[in-house]
């Protein structure tokens, strides 16, 4: 599983870097995104739904959130 640490970045950059990373990984690969922008959860979830990627987990870690995406 690839990991993308985007702490300190704000949307739309969190989504931009997530999209770029997903373009580079193979289908059926997982991507873990770590972000501390509070809008990242909704932004990434909505984009993944629109582009048919699956959100496997969204976890609030207190200081940041962890999102695990399965690329389709």
Is 3 among the catalytic positions? no
Q: What is the distance, to the nearest Å, from the Cα of residue 54 to the centroid of all Cα atoms in its chain?
A: 10
49: helix, strand or coil: helix
Active-site residue, from 2, 11, 17, 68: 11
65: helix, strand or coil: strand
Distance CA 17, CA 9 (A): 10
Residue with tokens 């969190």: 14
Residues carrying an active site annotation = 11
């Amino acid at each position: 599983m690839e990991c993308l640490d985007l702490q300190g970045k704000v949307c739309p950059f969190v989504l931009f870097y997530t999209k770029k990373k997903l373009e580079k990984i193979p289908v059926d690969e997982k991507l873990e995104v770590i972000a501390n922008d509070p809008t990242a959860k909704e932004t990434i979830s909505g984009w993944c739904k629109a582009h048919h990627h699956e959100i496997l987990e969204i976890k609030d870690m207190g200081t940041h959130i962890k999102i695990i995406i399965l690329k389709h």
